Amino acid sequence: MAGYVPLREYAVIGDGRTAALVARDGSVDWLGLPDMDSPAVFGAVLDAARGGRFTLAPAVPHRAKRRYLPGTNVLETDFFTSRGAVRVTDALALHEDSTLTPMRELLRRVDGLSGSVPLCWSMRPRFGYGTRRTRLARRAGVPVATAGTDALAICAWDAGEPECDNGVISGHFELEGGRRALISMPFAHQEPLVLPARAECEARLDATCAAWLSWAQDRLYSGQWSEAVMRSLLALKLLVHAPSGAVAAAVTTSLPEEIGGERNWDYRFSWVRDSAFTLAAFLRLGCPAEAQAYFWWLMHASQLTHPDLKVLYRLDGGHRTPERPLPWEGYRGSGPVRIGNAAAVQIQLDTYGELLQTAWQYALATGDLDVDIARRLAELADLVCTTWQEPDAGIWEVRGPPRHFTQSKMMCWVALDRAVDLAERGLIPTRHLPHWRTTRIRISAFIESRCFSHRRDSYVRSAGSEDLDAAVLLGHLYGYGGDGHRMRATISTLARGLRHGPYIDRYSGEDGLSGNEGAFLACSFWLTESLARTGHLPQAIELMDELVGLSNDVGLYSEEIDPDTGEFLGNLPQGLSHLALISAALAITDASKDTAR
């Protein structure tokens, strides 16, 4: 479909507040401003005609090769033409609070490598998902686009004289080897627009590279697949909303799980589901500041709805995320395009297990819990004792009738198991400790009697079902204390029933939605980790090698992959995919060390 590139073609850059998708052809096709969950100014990835974009590329036929500068989230794209070669460096600038700088700033530097290359660029902003009228004017000769209290400008040096026409700011120029051009796009929201000088922009780009490299050099990982692990950690860092510490599930909304299908969701929120993997990754890889900020954000957000625990929260800690459609056609015609996420009002009992697991990890790492947090965790354990018998929507957020999902029951067991351990360590109140223990036994009895199929030789998707569900692997990874033989058999059954090469389907059976979806990447990494933890290290390493090879050319993963074509599907970069990669790599490293002893 004209105007769209394969999702594999996208890299991501960010500054801890927002993030942009940059295609291999040099087009910035997604950017929310001022924050990641703000309305998009560039949204061409979801509507090529109306979404807006910022293009920069040679004006003659070319091929491209790109990479991240090692240890950074700064993107380099080399364009090769018959007339020479140029390098484009893209970054969202990191700023020092002590200096007067733009609120947000996209920097695009072009270096001539050889010959003389003609280039053209075009910036077509569409404020508020294209719903707001854009006005173009000049301030001190600089072209500025405004809509209400939002403004952005194009400051260009040796990149041609900017022209304004029909809502577009554009230019063209020719760059010789050894010469440099620079374009800055400063942005302001409800504050004065700062128009920077060239020297300041050059210095900020260099400082941004140095800041990323300094952060990456302090991380701790020396096992196999170190490049993939570090790129995953850098991708995860891009999903961190620095003002709050929240971690978004993905940068984007509504990228389809099936081309032409309806499974298109807004992932610019923070899911409790991801919390245990997130905290574990931060703690294991030497990110204590991020771990602490994320934990306290999670405790603050969940306090606002206590004792209810929401499935997801906004990056500012709020919980209202009403879902509505946009009048966009969707990626390659895959509508609807949704803003907000109705899953926020679902009942998903597994979230209590993930939250207690996260708190347990934090408490073991720090040796302490705040008194108020300890009280609230105990109250959550009490709530699990009264709600675990209810049906729910499950981790996969099905939009059909609630069921007694096995993974939800396993995570209720985990919630009480962690509460029991925290109480025995004297870290949370012990008043209802006996009740937690007895309820934990009752949950296990329910799972073992109603959620295991002897015909399948596997834990199944829900009580009384014969469907399979890769999510039950999480019960194993979080330490569900059921029958060990049954769990090992389940791992084998899931590998046979849901696996196709390196790809794993999420589940079998219906889910209340039409159409199909790709293979869910996190499930493949969960299987890898489960194999490593159950003594199947060679098989785990073999599968991990295959999965690492499925990333795109700059090491990123989406939510899903089409097993037939290898194309990315779903939102990207997908935090859970990268978190599951990190967790699997750490598990293999640990298992390898145990084997070597």
CA 565 to chain CA mean position, Å: 23
The pLDDT, as a whole number, for residue 218 is: 87
Q: Which residues contact 192 (CB under 8 A, 6 or more apart)?
A: none
Cross-strand bridge partners of residue 58: 119
Backbone φ and ψ for 325, nearest 5 degrees, come out as: -90, 150
d(CA 431, CA 379): 10
CB-CB contact of 525 with 581 (8 Å): yes
The letter for the amino acid at 241 is H
CB-CB contact of 338 with 254 (8 Å): yes
**Strand stretches in 148-196, DSSP E:** 150-153, 155-157, 163-165, 168-176, 180-189
CA-closest candidate to residue 578, choices 230, 107, 251, 276: 230
CATH number of the 14-215 domain = 2.70.98.10
CB-CB contact of 552 with 8 (8 Å): yes
The pLDDT, as a whole number, for residue 299 is: 97
CB-CB contact of 268 with 37 (8 Å): yes
CA-closest candidate to residue 253, choices 241, 236, 265, 262: 265
d(CA 532, CA 537): 5
d(CA 552, CA 217): 23
d(CA 327, CA 350): 34
Backbone φ and ψ for 6, nearest 5 degrees, come out as: -55, 145
Tokens of 135: 């006005």
Angle at 546 between CA 543 and CA 551, to 5 degrees: 130
CB-CB contact of 37 with 52 (8 Å): no
Tokens of 312: 């997801």
Backbone φ and ψ for 245, nearest 5 degrees, come out as: 95, -5
CB-CB contact of 54 with 28 (8 Å): yes
CA 376 to chain CA mean position, Å: 28
Residue found by looking up tokens 């699990």 in the block? 384
Exposed, middle or buried: residue 136 (CB in 10 Å: 0-12, 13-18, 19+)? middle
Q: How many CB atoms lie within 10 A of CB 441?
A: 11
Backbone φ and ψ for 332, nearest 5 degrees, come out as: 50, 40
Q: How many CB atoms lie within 10 A of CB 435?
A: 13
Domain boundaries, the chain: 14-215, 304-310+346-497
CB-CB contact of 559 with 574 (8 Å): yes
Exposed, middle or buried: residue 60 (CB in 10 Å: 0-12, 13-18, 19+)? middle
Backbone φ and ψ for 92, nearest 5 degrees, come out as: -95, 120
d(CA 352, CA 381): 8
CA 149 to chain CA mean position, Å: 29
pLDDT truncated to tens, each residue of the chain (597 aa)?
789 999 999 999 999 999 999 999 999 999 999 999 999 999 999 999 999 999 999 999 999 999 999 999 999 999 999 999 999 999 999 987 667 899 999 999 999 999 999 999 999 999 999 999 999 999 999 999 999 999 999 999 999 999 999 999 999 999 999 999 999 999 999 999 999 999 999 999 999 999 999 999 989 888 899 999 999 999 999 999 999 999 999 999 999 999 998 889 999 999 999 999 999 999 999 999 999 999 999 999 999 999 999 999 999 999 999 999 999 999 999 999 999 999 999 999 999 999 999 999 999 999 999 999 999 999 999 999 999 999 999 999 887 889 999 999 999 999 999 999 999 999 999 999 999 999 999 999 999 999 999 999 999 999 999 999 999 999 999 999 877 899 999 999 999 999 999 999 998 877 655 556 789 999 999 999 999 999 999 999 999 999 999 999 999 999 999 999 999 999 999 999 999 999 999 999 999 987 876
CA atoms within 13 A on the CB side of 349: 27
Q: Which residues contact 81 (CB under 8 A, 6 or more apart)?
A: 58, 60, 61, 62, 115, 117
CA 214 to chain CA mean position, Å: 22
The pLDDT, as a whole number, for residue 513 is: 58
d(CA 521, CA 518): 9
Exposed, middle or buried: residue 508 (CB in 10 Å: 0-12, 13-18, 19+)? middle
d(CA 461, CA 282): 30
CA-closest candidate to residue 571, choices 51, 90, 21: 21
The pLDDT, as a whole number, for residue 97 is: 63
- Helix (H/G/I), strand (E/B), else coil: 406: helix
Cross-strand bridge partners of residue 520: 560
The pLDDT, as a whole number, for residue 512 is: 58
CB-CB contact of 416 with 424 (8 Å): no
